[in-house]
A and B are shown apart, each in its own frame.
Chain A
């Protein structure tokens, strides 16, 4: 019956398999552990992530391997992004622990959903087929919807989860519709073969472009760029801050991988079409994100709008890969590695900023208003300095990592000949600097509203300091990370 069956190579997918096995083990362990052993789930989750990182590192071989009937790809890009993903999730675990414990949300299910969300992101990062990409996305989204609503007695969290769920389902529908159109035109779901079929030029381009519009809309929703950004402020605001920290960081890495694989690995033949769509969305995101953030009084909402503008910058880099008719490999790699660099620096800054919000909240009290940052310098000069570094970096002030990220993106865009777009982006960034610097002003020049000292575990203090210093150090020495990004992409694309 199974004469021609060849066992798929499981070696490239070892981290995913390990994570699934551990998640099932944690599910059972937590169910039988009882209330006295609640520490079991977080500790096992941490060990699982460390184990995944070790496996990913050990199985790294610098070449692209396809397995599971060409549905799964293991290349340097996926290994690199997965390692960053584990780091982000570990940081999320450490930052969120006290906050969740104070609100009685640190149930075993939280850690399980976190692990399954991680699995979803890993699947997205390694997807080489429309089907697995969609399934990874759904795995991630479903876990996130439940995590947003995990504080079920909070009406705001429930409302946010409901909005996220309905809009997310709509976006998944758009994405699937686009995928089905492209499948109809090319007759395959595999990204490599889609690219080949488009390259041969025998397919109906009208149907392809029609599908592409829906595909780009779906990806744009997941990245949260204008005009598909409406969910971002409400979900960032409504979700428990520990979950906001997760939503704002790791999924952006996965969404970046999804955008890169879909648009560059799969639909590169349609670059002239998707570039103009991305350009429009990038300019609108940078504009609306920065302008709307000025009006916010809640820091979670403000960082939400700032996320929109940051994703706009990332799109700006993605659309700068091809200039004109001929494809210049150097410019291509430059543009995509600046996009990768941007997304990494954004994740680093976003983790730090939401980590600071978590650091200031205590007990049942949420420190999510700008007011709460007033006079932080008097309460804790060290953490005020960390927050100032993060805000300077987000604003794109020189010699922090955010500056080099913006700079390399703008260079790539100028090289591709989009000077007008670059000018617009710079103007809006300058406007945006206002609301980042306002936080710094509140911390250093205003008197504190409450003078309570900052209480946090040693691990959190250490990690948040490390996070802030990393933002400063990568800003002083940006070359090593940039070279790593370039090398990864050269060996993957």
Chain B
């Protein structure tokens, strides 16, 4: 057993442990933190497969962005863990069946000739090979057209989100600091000339 195999088993064992704790931890914050641990281990596994770009993206996107947002949401909400756990054992048979089915499907797919270790034996690249650079090269040369189109689709999503949700509400009382600072004394005080209704009192 060489060092790489040992590293694989360490990462895999930690990954399975963390994943199990995600669904068994009583405290939702702990569950989220275990999910972070699971992502880190999955990233480690990808590193051993020389897929460093996927590893970096997983840590950056999922740990750095998605899970932080997730933790914020969990901390903002007051989650009643007892209510969430109601019906756990009742739903268990269905969930277990679905899980077994998924495992069986994956085993079937991986054992065919199209996929699995036979079809993709894995290529060993030299130490100076960087798949981040290779992906970047492909994205910005051969696939530059679809890449830019995808970015325009994201721009459309931003515009659509703004136009559908931005609401300048008139019924909310708020102060505009710009107008507050720019106020002049003539805006605050108005001198009115009024005719006297009654002479000398």
Q: Is the CB of B153 within 8 A of A142?
A: yes
Given contacts A1-B137, A123-B149, A139-B149, A69 and B159 within 8 Å (CB-CB): no
Please provide the chain B residues from 130 to 156 with a CB less than 8 Å away from any CB of chain A in the complex: 133, 137, 141-146, 149-150, 152-153, 155-156
Residue on B nearest A107 in the bound complex, by CB: B163
How far, in angstroms, from A233 to B109 measured CA to CA in the complex?
42
B159's partner among A129, A132, A146, A152 (CB-CB below 8 A) is A146
Residue-wise, chain A 70-100 has the 8 Å CB interface mask toward B (1 for contact) of 0110000000000000000000000000000
Judge if A220 is at the interface, Cβ distance under 8 Å.
no
Shortest distance between the CB of A160 and any CB in chain B (Å): 14
Q: Is the CB of A145 within 8 A of B160?
A: yes
Q: Is the CB of A116 within 8 A of B163?
A: no
Q: Which among B149, B153, B159 has the greatest number of chain A C-beta atoms within 10 A?
A: B149
Judge if B23 is at the interface, Cβ distance under 8 Å.
no
Q: Is the CB of A131 within 8 A of B146?
A: yes
Neighbouring B residues of A139 by C-beta, 8 Å: 149, 152-153, 156
What are 17 A-to-B residue pairs whose CB atoms are below 8 Å?
A5-B141, A8-B144, A8-B145, A27-B159, A69-B141, A71-B146, A107-B163, A109-B159, A113-B163, A116-B159, A119-B152, A131-B146, A132-B149, A135-B146, A139-B152, A142-B153, A146-B159
Residue-wise, chain B 31-49 has the 8 Å CB interface mask toward A (1 for contact) of 0000000000000000000
Q: Is the CB of B143 within 8 A of A69?
A: yes
Q: Is the CB of A109 within 8 A of B146?
A: no
Please provide the chain A residues from 371 to 400 with a CB less than 8 Å away from any CB of chain B in the complex: none
The number of chain A residues with a CB under 8 A from chain B is: 34
Q: Is the CB of B160 within 8 A of A146?
A: yes
Q: Is the CB of A1 within 8 A of B133?
A: yes
Shortest distance between the CB of A163 and any CB in chain B (Å): 16
Residue on B nearest A109 in the bound complex, by CB: B163
Neighbouring A residues of B75 by C-beta, 8 Å: none
Residue-wise, chain A 137-156 has the 8 Å CB interface mask toward B (1 for contact) of 01100110110011010000
Shortest distance between the CB of B164 and any CB in chain A (Å): 6
Q: Is the CB of A142 within 8 A of B143?
A: no
Q: Is the CB of A112 within 8 A of B146?
A: no
Given contacts A109-B162, A149-B164, A72 and B145 within 8 Å (CB-CB): yes
**With A136-B149, A146-B163 given, can you name 17 additional A-B contacts, CB distance below 8 Å?**
A5-B141, A8-B144, A69-B142, A69-B143, A107-B163, A113-B156, A113-B160, A116-B155, A131-B146, A135-B146, A135-B153, A138-B153, A142-B153, A142-B160, A145-B160, A150-B163, A152-B164
Judge if A28 is at the interface, Cβ distance under 8 Å.
no
Please provide the chain A residues from 139 to 192 with a CB less than 8 Å away from any CB of chain B in the complex: 139, 142-143, 145-146, 149-150, 152, 184
Please provide the chain B residues from 86 to 143 with a CB less than 8 Å away from any CB of chain A in the complex: 114, 133, 137, 141-143
Judge if B157 is at the interface, Cβ distance under 8 Å.
yes
Neighbouring A residues of B156 by C-beta, 8 Å: 113, 116, 139, 142-143, 146
> In terms of DSSP, what is the predominant structure of the interface of chain A?
helix
How far, in angstroms, from A146 to B164 measured CA to CA in the complex?
7
A-B residue pair count with CB separations less than 8 angstroms: 68
Residues in chain B within 8 A of chain A (CB atoms)? 114, 133, 137, 141-146, 149-150, 152-153, 155-157, 159-160, 162-164
Neighbouring A residues of B145 by C-beta, 8 Å: 8, 13, 68-69, 71-72, 132
Shortest distance between the CB of A487 and any CB in chain B (Å): 29
Given contacts A146-B164, A150-B163, A20 and B152 within 8 Å (CB-CB): yes
Given contacts A1-B137, A20-B152, A113 and B146 within 8 Å (CB-CB): no
Shortest distance between the CB of B115 and any CB in chain A (Å): 11
How far, in angstroms, from A1 to B137 measured CA to CA in the complex?
8
Shortest distance between the CB of A204 and any CB in chain B (Å): 11
Residue on B nearest A113 in the bound complex, by CB: B159
Neighbouring A residues of B150 by C-beta, 8 Å: 135
How far, in angstroms, from A142 to B163 measured CA to CA in the complex?
13
How far, in angstroms, from A119 to B155 measured CA to CA in the complex?
13
Residue on B nearest A67 in the bound complex, by CB: B145
How far, in angstroms, from A152 to B160 measured CA to CA in the complex?
12
Q: Is the CB of B144 within 8 A of A116?
A: no
Given contacts A1-B133, A139-B153, A149-B164, A68 and B144 within 8 Å (CB-CB): yes
Neighbouring A residues of B114 by C-beta, 8 Å: 184
Judge if A462 is at the interface, Cβ distance under 8 Å.
no
Shortest distance between the CB of A12 and any CB in chain B (Å): 11
Neighbouring A residues of B157 by C-beta, 8 Å: 142
How far, in angstroms, from A184 to B152 measured CA to CA in the complex?
28
Shortest distance between the CB of B106 and any CB in chain A (Å): 17
Shortest distance between the CB of B56 and any CB in chain A (Å): 19
Neighbouring B residues of A135 by C-beta, 8 Å: 146, 149-150, 153
Neighbouring B residues of A136 by C-beta, 8 Å: 149
Judge if A2 is at the interface, Cβ distance under 8 Å.
yes
Neighbouring B residues of A146 by C-beta, 8 Å: 156, 159-160, 163-164
Neighbouring A residues of B146 by C-beta, 8 Å: 71, 129, 131-132, 135
Residue on A nearest B143 in the bound complex, by CB: A69
How far, in angstroms, from A109 to B144 measured CA to CA in the complex?
27
How far, in angstroms, from A112 to B143 measured CA to CA in the complex?
25
Residue on B nearest A161 in the bound complex, by CB: B164
Neighbouring B residues of A138 by C-beta, 8 Å: 153
Shortest distance between the CB of B125 and any CB in chain A (Å): 16
Shortest distance between the CB of A35 and any CB in chain B (Å): 11
Please provide the chain A residues from 40 to 88 with a CB less than 8 Å away from any CB of chain B in the complex: 68-69, 71-72
Neighbouring B residues of A119 by C-beta, 8 Å: 152
How far, in angstroms, from A131 to B153 measured CA to CA in the complex?
14
The 6 A-B pairs at the shortest CB distance, nearest first, are namely: A146-B160, A68-B145, A109-B163, A135-B149, A69-B142, A116-B156
Neighbouring B residues of A110 by C-beta, 8 Å: 163
Shortest distance between the CB of B98 and any CB in chain A (Å): 21
Residue on B nearest A6 in the bound complex, by CB: B141
Q: Which among A112, A113, A146 has the greatest number of chain B C-beta atoms within 10 A?
A: A146
Q: Which among B141, B144, B160 has the greatest number of chain A C-beta atoms within 10 A?
A: B160
Shortest distance between the CB of A446 and any CB in chain B (Å): 40
